[in-house]
Amino acid sequence: MLHLVLFLVFGAICVAGAVNLLAQNHPISSALSLVVVMASLAVEYLLLGAEFVAAVQVIVYAGAVMVLFVFVIMLLNAGAEERTQGSRVALVLGIPGVLAGGLLVAWVLVQRTNTPEVPLGALPGFPKTIGALLFHQFLLPFEVTSILVLIAIMGAVVLASRPEPKMKVPEKES
Amino acid sequence: MSNLLFFIVASIIKIVLVIFILLTAVAYTVWLERKVVGHMQNRWGPSRVGPFGLLQPAADGIKFLMKEDLTPPHVYRPLFIAAPMIAVICALTSISVIPFGNAITVFGHIVPMQITDLNIGLLLILGVTSVGVYGVALAGWSSNSKYSLLGGLRASAQMVSYEICLGLSLVGVLIVSGSFSLREIVQSQSGHFFGFIPKWNIFYGCQFIAFFIYLMAAYAETNRLPFDLPEAETELVAGYHDHRRLRGHRALSGRLERSDIWSAAFAGDSPDFLVRRKNLRFSFYLYLGARHTATFPL
Amino acid sequence: MVPISYYLILSGILFACGVIGFLIKRNIITIFMSIELMLNGVNLSFVAFAAQWHHLSGQVFVFFVMVVAAAEASVGLAIIIAVFRTRETLNIDQVNLLKL
């Protein structure tokens, strides 16, 4: 009972945040509603027992990635969005595509309503067990992600740094 | 049912007590700092209100409460109001996992002296403090002024970057105690090395280096003196709390959580550690925190 | 007791919101945030499936998704800054040339 109530409350907050992200015009409002979505998703993870995932979700997503977003919005001083008519491809292909995809997902879910019910904290993901799994079974992907992050850091630095004004080569006195 | 009721009542009492004690302690730590810095600089510090100026924090609090709630016309209103709330709520939430004593038995129920004991307590603190960055960033942005924006950007950049040092310096503690739960971390530090050195993590191996890193990162996080670039009073007129009514509000909230965590993580002792921790925290705050303010003429 | 399908429906709704935002928003940063929203929806389904099959791999995968999202965010925001520097706009409709 408690599980269902908590799920519904935080699920509602989650969906409200996601819809607010679409409804808001100003990027900062969108970013903050995305933070709300992420925080309530962390609660959903906790309900499923994934406590470490929940903590990392808050630290990494809400605390680092979204701060980066807010930071960039502040840095570029992005104002409210201007309305344009939008792209025609999105109208013609995108919205029917989303509707079709949504119908497909809904149909699959209705067909498979006999999914098992899980209690509160179904599968406890303690940091210890997750760490053991990460460093034994998933060692190679783990190391690969470290290289990925390194490349991403270098790419970000190269892309965001201002292109240097060309140095004038002092001509040799002859 | 009575169990549940008891739990709820006990939790509410604990929350009220902890918040009350904490806020009072913070107020008087500020008083102590002003007093000590004053004496170091050959002045008296607060001395007018009450004996030794002891009622000064209360007077300050009343002054803050009675001030006119002024909202400048050009600000982005919802965030201007929400930003200090975010900062304060995040700072206060993080004390909920900090233990302050052994469990006691009341009417046959065991009441742990901690608001809640989470398996991921330390991660919760890190997460909540990293969310607290929004308070600073949004406070700067929503004031809609160049100085505030620059101050907010500087402060949030500094907080985000020092958060990494902060998190990594705690790894040693985690390895030694093998748990994220603050209660277990504190319990793993009970006892003595060789019978007389308390078994605190700070004396364990090279942990004092981690402690030093943590300390410096904590100063940077709270924008204390050597790292007070964001609040640069001369060029940015105190940065993000420019345009802000309750500037003391924010300034208070940041620094209180840090000292609590370090003492739990590095210098906790098991049974009667409440008193000892307070002493340590005070003396520490005094001898390093206050000295900084007094001796760095920045 | 909550059926796993509830969690899946929630993750589906989040993903759909992300797709719709990707299609209808005109600000590059908001579009980017919609992508993050989609990734979050997928993460929820990973954790839900982990609970269904009682296997922690699902939860481990969430970390990989997070790493990719963080890397993507840093590079993407750097690209946004570079675009803003040259075009001085964040409106995706006005970023319509391949050259600077």
Same domain for A64 and A130, yes or no, is no
Q: Is residue A171 part of a domain?
A: no
Q: Residues C20, A98: contact at Cβ < 8 Å?
A: yes
Q: Is residue A146 part of a domain?
A: yes
Q: What is the mean pLDDT of each successive set of 10 residues along chain B, which is 298 residues long?
A: 82 86 74 77 81 82 69 77 76 75 74 79 83 81 78 81 83 81 75 69 74 75 67 56 45 42 40 35 40 36
Domains of chain C (ranges; CATH) run 4-94 (1.10.287.3510)
| pLDDT for position B1 | 64
Same domain for A8 and A73, yes or no, is yes
Total residues belonging to chain B: 298
Q: Which residues 170-229 of chain B have a CB within 8 Å of chain A?
A: 180
| pLDDT for position C5 | 83
Categorize the per-residue pLDDT at C90 as very low, low, confident or very high, splitting at 50, 70 and 90. Answer: confident
Q: Which residues 18-57 of chain C have a CB within 8 Å of chain A?
A: 18-21, 23-27, 29-30, 32-34, 36-37, 40, 43-44, 47-48, 50-52, 54-57
Of A61, A141, A155, the CB nearest to C75: A155
Same domain for A73 and A132, yes or no, is no
What is the extent of the structural domain holding B222? 67-295
Give the residue with greater pLDDT, A125 vs A58: A58
Of C36, C78, C90, the CB nearest to A34: C36
Taking contacts as CB-CB distances below 8 angstroms, the residues of chain B near A77 are 149
Distance of alpha carbon B193 from the chain centroid: 30
Taking contacts as CB-CB distances below 8 angstroms, the residues of chain A near C27 are 27, 78, 81
- Whether the CB of C86 is below 8 Å from some CB of chain A: the reply is no
| pLDDT for position B231 | 61
| pLDDT for position B198 | 65
Per residue in A112-122, pLDDT tens? Answer: 666 777 878 77
Of B118, B127, B134, the CB nearest to A59: B127
Same domain for A73 and A131, yes or no, is no
Q: What's the domain count of chain A? A: 2
Q: Is there a contact between C78 and A69 if contact means CB atoms under 8 Å apart?
A: no
Same domain for A4 and A76, yes or no, is yes
Q: What is the ipTM of this complex?
A: 0.91
Q: Of the candidates A26, A57, A80, which is a domain's last residue? A: A80
Q: What's the domain count of chain B? A: 1
Of all residues in chain C, the percent with pLDDT exceeding 90 is: 41
- Whether the CB of C84 is below 8 Å from some CB of chain A: the reply is yes
Q: Is there a contact between A58 and B130 if contact means CB atoms under 8 Å apart?
A: yes
Q: A1: which 2 tokens?
A: 């009972």
- Whether the CB of B153 is below 8 Å from some CB of chain A: the reply is yes
Which chain A residue's Cα is nearest to C81? Answer: A160
- Whether the CB of A46 is below 8 Å from some CB of chain B: the reply is no
Which chain A residue's Cα is nearest to B130? Answer: A63
Q: B72: which 2 tokens?
A: 């400048």
Q: Residue B287 has what DSSP assignment?
A: I
Catalogue the E-assigned strands of chain A: 117-118
**Mean pLDDT throughout C3-7?**
85
Taking contacts as CB-CB distances below 8 angstroms, the residues of chain B near A71 are 137, 153, 156-157, 160
**pLDDT of residue C56 exceeding 70:** yes
Q: Is there a contact between A32 and B134 if contact means CB atoms under 8 Å apart?
A: yes
In this complex, which chains have at least 3 CB pairs below 8 Å with chain B? A
Q: Is residue B212 part of a domain?
A: yes
Q: Is residue A141 part of a domain?
A: yes
Residues 6+ apart with CB under 8 A from B83: B134, B135, B136, B138, B139, B142
Per residue in A38-49, pLDDT tens? Answer: 999 999 999 998
| pLDDT for position A44 | 92
Q: Is residue B267 part of a domain?
A: yes
| pLDDT for position A18 | 93
First to last CA, chain A: 90
Cα separation, B154 vs B148, whole angstroms = 10
Q: Is residue B184 part of a domain?
A: yes
CB pairs under 8 A between A and B: 70
B105 DSSP β-pair partners: B110
Q: Is residue A25 part of a domain?
A: yes
Give the angle C41-C42-C48 at the CA atoms, nearest 5°.
95
3-state SS, B118-161, equals CCCHHHHHHHHHHHCHHHHHHHHHHCCCHHHHHHHHHHHHHHHH
Q: Is residue B53 part of a domain?
A: no
| pLDDT for position C38 | 93
Q: Is A100 exposed, middle or buried (0-12, 13-18, 19+ CB in 10 A)?
A: exposed
What is the extent of the structural domain holding A154? 126-160
Q: How far is B164 from chain A (nearest CA, A)?
A: 10
First to last CA, chain B: 59
SS3 B56: helix
Mean pLDDT taken over chain C: 87
| pLDDT for position B297 | 33
Q: How far is A140 from chain C (nearest CA, A)?
A: 12
Q: Is residue A61 part of a domain?
A: yes
| pLDDT for position C99 | 66
Q: Is residue A137 part of a domain?
A: yes
Chains C and B touch (3+ CB pairs under 8 A): no
Closest among B2, B64, B52 to B28, alpha carbons compared: B52
**pLDDT of residue A103 exceeding 70:** yes
**Mean pLDDT throughout C62-81?**
91
